Amino acid sequence: MQDQDAATPINIHLMTLQQLFNSFDPSPFHNKDLDADAHEYIVGSVDEYSLQKNLKLVIEIPADEFKGADASALPDSIHNYFSYRAEEVRRKIRFLMREGRSALLIGLSFLVVCTSLRQLTMSFAEPPFAGPLSEGLLILGWVAMWRPIQIFLYDWWPVHHNRRLYAKLATMPVEVRAFEP
């Protein structure tokens, strides 16, 4: 891994340490959820760079808050939060793939039924109705395949990207600096 000093900093300037965390979360400090705005800022800032780019999170807090025990636990708290988010997204990917497999099974079954009905329609229906009815059944069968195709081709990519992003944030160096207000 590259030297931490060569890492591109993502800076956050706070007036109080509590600005970083959700004030309604009763959890102990190291397990607290980040404030939604802080989460959005951190994730958005890191997402502007390649996942291979060496980054570090630099949090600037007033000197009087820097001396507290909470400031020293801040890196672990942030890493815990993003580790939890990465695991949550991993579960979401598993659920999405399970949903895709179910949708594929249903879609393929429906497609088989529609193509079978199409064959019956073509052999028994009268010419003015046979064409549109058989084509309608074929289209209906393929439309039923829309959802599994959407899941397997498109839906999982952004979720997978978020998992990788959160995994990076869970291990990214966090530096806490004091400043004089």
Residues 84-126 have pLDDT tens digits of 999 999 999 999 999 999 999 999 999 999 999 998 888 887 7
Q: CB atoms < 10 A from the CB of 46, how many?
A: 20
Q: If pLDDT is split at 50, 70 and 90, which confidence band does 26 have?
A: low
Task: Provide mean pLDDT across the span 3-31.
Answer: 73
Question: Does residue 173 contact residue 4 with C-beta atoms inside 8 Å?
Answer: yes
Burial class of residue 73 (count of CB atoms within 10 Å of its CB; 0-12, 13-18, 19+): middle
Which residue is listed with tokens 């007036």? 15
Q: Supply the pLDDT for residue 132.
A: 87
Q: For the whole prediction, is pTM greater than 0.85?
A: no
Q: If pLDDT is split at 50, 70 and 90, which confidence band does 4 have?
A: low
Q: If pLDDT is split at 50, 70 and 90, which confidence band does 1 have?
A: very low
H helix intervals, the chain: 36-47, 63-66, 69-124, 127-143, 146-150, 156-171
